[in-house]
A and B are shown apart, each in its own frame.
Chain A
Amino acid sequence: MFFNEFKYSLLTTLRDRRFIMWMILFPMALGSLFKAAFSDIYENDIKFSPIPTAIVQTQKDDIFKEVIRSVSKGKDALLKVTYADSAEEAEKLLKDGKVAGIITKDGTLGLTVASNGMDTTILKAFTDRYLTEEKLIKDTLEKDPMKLPALTAALQDDLKTVKKVRLTDGVSDPYITYFFNLLAMVAACSSVTGLNVVVQNQADQSPLGARKGCSPTPKLISTLAVLAGCWLTGMMCTAVSVSFLAFVLKVDFGSRLGFVYLAAMMGGIMGNSMGFMIGSLVKGSYEKKNAAAMVVSLGGSFLSGLMIADIKPDIMEKAPIVNALNPNAVVCDSFYYLNLDAGYDRFIGKMVTMLVMTVLFTAVGFIFTRRKKYASL
């Protein structure tokens, strides 16, 4: 009996082609958009690259020229230099956004910028450093000129004071979390399918529910079969989404793609169970249940950083409990930990959380849909 119900539940869900199509098209459309919008942001705006700078030098100064040359060469270059013939030409480059600032060397060193930001702060740090070293040389010249050679030698040394240790082998681009959030939203939107479990089994919700209410099949078996059908649909939708992102859009999920599929499908199951719970808790029309499901999935998406990525670290720091209880954040974090961590500890923690949430949502759903009696239908 279970498999019979399961089969027809699956067929019913799959025959709602428009819904399935949109469930699959939704991540494809947004994923393609994210790929187009975010593919260059990391390289252009977050990852450090030499700062485009215009140089206006009205006085001959070989030391200054040598300093500029040394900071603009090699793979660790700080500046990408353009020499301008006049202040007007440099200002035009600045106003057109082609350079971040203008360093002017006449009697003294000056800096012109058009905005405050990390790039212009670095430019100021560079000019400050130049003036600092100039001051040290002047002071030494005044106090003890004999020490000048030692001082200039000390200043000219190319120092390697910092040893760098990379904390992850995963993808460093923080914008990849938008794709994680997208998959989490697909999982949460599966809750709309989960609502059907209640609608299809409650006698006061649909003619099908009324017929089922009269049938001799135990309600537990019938509901479980429909729910299992929805789980399978949810798993399918999330698996297709991961495949599209990984193989068509070439989103880099790292070397553990199998686990990404696992987490996404588990998320799909959890989303369906969440819909089942919402459907059983919210009394009234399908519209109300649907509205409640959208409130939960949209609110969850917002809190896990789909709309504003900065929300996520803020919540991680100030209210970690919200992150731990938000189903969208749990799904998103499972991908995130898989990407960032070398080990599996935190990933397994999130998978267990998804499993516990699925059991809890399903149990609540069953509790609130069982033993219903109707005076008339």
Chain B
Amino acid sequence: MQVYKLFMQILKKKMPVAMIYVVLFMVLCLAFAAKGSEETTFEESKVSIVITDNDNTAESKALTEYIGKRCRVVEPKMPKNDALYFNHISFSLTINEGYAKKLAAGDTDDLFTEEYVHENYGAAYMENFLGEYVGCVRAAVAAGDDMSAAVKSAEEAMDIDTEVKMVSSDSGKMNGFESGSGFFRYLPFILISVMMYTLSAVMVAINKKEVRFRTNCSSISPTSYGGQLLAGSVTFVMAAWVLFMVLGAFVCGGFDGKGWVQVLNSGIFAVISALVAVIVSMLINAEQTINIVSNVVGLAMSFMCGVFVPQSMLSDGVLAVGRFMPMYWYTKANDMLTGAAMYSAGKVTECIAVEAGFCAALAAVALLIFKLRVRADN
């Protein structure tokens, strides 16, 4: 166990640097969880809208009030074009001056002005809504009502609700979630980054040419040496993973039945992360470069496998490539466990089994690279 002990000694020495990364990613993890948790309280979609009333009449005020019942009227603290660009608001409505007069005269052209940056679904909804409202008021006037009565009867008529039946679907977006919420959704990015940043510091020290050559001369076999390095890495990984799970238990308020499956899913992925970190640090033995490579690997996998952008929004081509990465299977299982996709115990088990397969394959690749390097050194 000499190599294992050496690994632990170096790790102890590098602990202050490792802790910087662990703390950074714990903070990021909390921030991700806070951001993701918004999706758990999904309700029927309400359009965010900004209203500017340039007419300021009883009719325009009645419309503003009625829109307030159906939509979320907001006052953004940022410029309107920024808010529209980032979809912070979906619709910017101006009730033009002369709205009431034109409506009473039956002239419906350009009663409103819509400022837009891109044509989104919220805008389509509002255009339909405004058309319906004006159409109903006109119809009520045509039926003999005066303006105030027409506005009232239009609002009453528009309060009708269609009976909506909900069915379950295999195509994702169940219950409105586009991807699993909260803590576990972003965990793979955190785990792979933390492992690569911290383990690489230890591996770079162990893989230094002089140290490696000295070790190669010793009586220890390459398989045992590589195995002990992997064991050391997995020990560190499990410790870091336990830390994150304690944080997760704190954030989620404990784990329930499916929560424990998520814990298992993340545990397997933590080991995968460690193996990826070991392989990368064996291939790139310069600390300055390894941090950038860690960025590329962590971010690339997260984007391709549906961690940052939900799998349901990614193209088939991207997902086809993502299937060759363990993070894809982690996310797929997690989506089912959080209600973002149709739950199936069999499919979750299948995903976790694929991850376990990746684990074994990566361990074999790590040992192979290690043996090849020893042979090349000789």
Could you tell me which A residues sit within 8 Å of B by CB distance?
Answer: 16, 18-19, 22-23, 25-26, 29-30, 33-34, 36-42, 44-48, 78, 91, 94-97, 108-122, 124-129, 131-133, 135-136, 139-140, 143-144, 147, 150-151, 153-155, 157, 159-168, 172-174, 185, 189, 192, 285-288, 290-292, 294-295, 298-299, 302, 306-313, 316-318, 320, 340-341
Contacts of A33 in B (CB 8 A): 300, 303-304
- On whether the beta carbons of B78 and A316 are closer than 8 Å, the reply is yes
Binding site secondary structure of chain A:
helix
Top 9 A-B pairs, shortest CB-CB distance: A97-B171, A114-B169, A172-B118, A118-B121, A313-B86, A116-B176, A150-B142, A127-B162, A154-B142
Compute how far the CA of A133 lies from the CA of B116 in the bound complex, rounded to whole angstroms: 29
- On whether the beta carbons of B197 and A95 are closer than 8 Å, the reply is no
Contacts of B167 in A (CB 8 A): 91, 94-95, 112-114
- On whether the beta carbons of A311 and B20 are closer than 8 Å, the reply is no
Q: In the complex, which residue of chain B has the Cβ closest to the Cβ of A140? A: B143
What would 21 A/B residue contacts be, using CB atoms closer than 8 Å? A22-B289, A22-B292, A78-B128, A95-B171, A116-B42, A118-B121, A129-B128, A133-B136, A136-B136, A161-B111, A161-B130, A163-B96, A163-B113, A166-B115, A166-B116, A174-B118, A287-B14, A294-B291, A307-B308, A316-B78, A320-B78
- On whether the beta carbons of A313 and B78 are closer than 8 Å, the reply is yes
Contacts of B141 in A (CB 8 A): 154
Q: In the complex, which residue of chain B has the Cβ closest to the Cβ of A104? A: B165
- On whether the beta carbons of A125 and B110 are closer than 8 Å, the reply is no
- On whether the beta carbons of B175 and A46 are closer than 8 Å, the reply is no
Q: Mark B269-310, 1 if CB is under 8 A from A, else 0.
A: 000000000000000101111011101100110111000110
Contacts of A298 in B (CB 8 A): 24, 28, 193, 295
Contacts of A40 in B (CB 8 A): 315
Kindly name the residue among B85, B134, B176, B309 whose own CB sees the greatest number of chain A CB atoms within 10 A: B85
Compute how far the CA of A175 lies from the CA of B268 in the bound complex, rounded to whole angstroms: 32
- Would you give the shortest CB distance from A315 to chain B, in whole angstroms? 10
- Would you give the shortest CB distance from B163 to chain A, in whole angstroms? 6
Q: In the complex, which residue of chain A has the Cβ closest to the Cβ of B106? A: A154
Does any Cβ of A come within 8 Å of B123's Cβ? Answer: yes
- Would you give the shortest CB distance from B115 to chain A, in whole angstroms? 5
Could you tell me which B residues sit within 8 Å of A by CB distance?
Answer: 14, 16-17, 20-21, 24, 27-28, 31-32, 35, 42-45, 47, 76-78, 80-88, 96, 108-125, 127-132, 134-136, 138-144, 153, 157-158, 160-176, 186, 189, 193, 197, 201, 284, 286-289, 291-293, 295-296, 299-300, 302-304, 308-309, 313-315, 317-318
Contacts of B172 in A (CB 8 A): 97
Contact of A159 among B125, B135, B318 (CB under 8 A): B135
